[in-house]
Amino acid sequence: MGTRGPSAGTRTPAEREKEGESRMFALLVLLLAVVAGGGTWWLLRRGAAAPDAAADRREVGRIVLLAHGPDWAERHGVDARRLSAALLDGADPELLHRVDTEVGPVDLRFHGSGGRGRVTVTAEYDGPRGHAKATADLPWDDVPQQVRAELLRGAAVLRTWRAAR
């Protein structure tokens, strides 16, 4: 029969207990490292997505203004530049609030075949004057990047935009 080594069978119960504690400590350190690494990855992904979401919201807002901006500007007695500054940059909180209260959420539906073609956008909402609907035909490059990515994967893309963030 072979030998197991000089101390294989001669460890005391205290030594075996200490070895078990060392293994548990190593396992705990490994678990904490995995949790910390996963948390860091999640925070980095979340932080990286925030600017894209803000850019997407701003680009969708521009499309809403293209579709409904002239009517809203006339109704509120302002020019298009002032309306755009209020809705996209928050430059006029009072006007922003008035439009948001009147319009509420605007639903957009993007249809396109993807690639370098054109994309049809329908923007609609239910306001105090009833249902309002406008359609625009946009070049592919004028569509928000995240929407283009979704159009390449499927048929239609839906977005909801609201004046008040």
Q: In this structure, what token pair is assigned to residue 16?
A: 């075996």
Q: State the pLDDT at residue 154.
A: 81
Question: Measured between alpha carbons, how far is residue 67 from residues 6, 92, 133 in Å?
Answer: 84, 20, 8
- pTM, two decimals, is 0.66
pLDDT tens digit sequence for 143-153: 999 999 899 98
Q: Where are the domains of the chain?
A: 58-161
Q: Three-class SS string for 82-103?
A: HHHHHHHHCCCHHHHHHHHHHH
pLDDT band at 1 (very low <50, low <70, confident <90, very high): low
pLDDT tens digit sequence for 80-118: 999 999 999 999 999 999 999 999 999 999 998 766 789
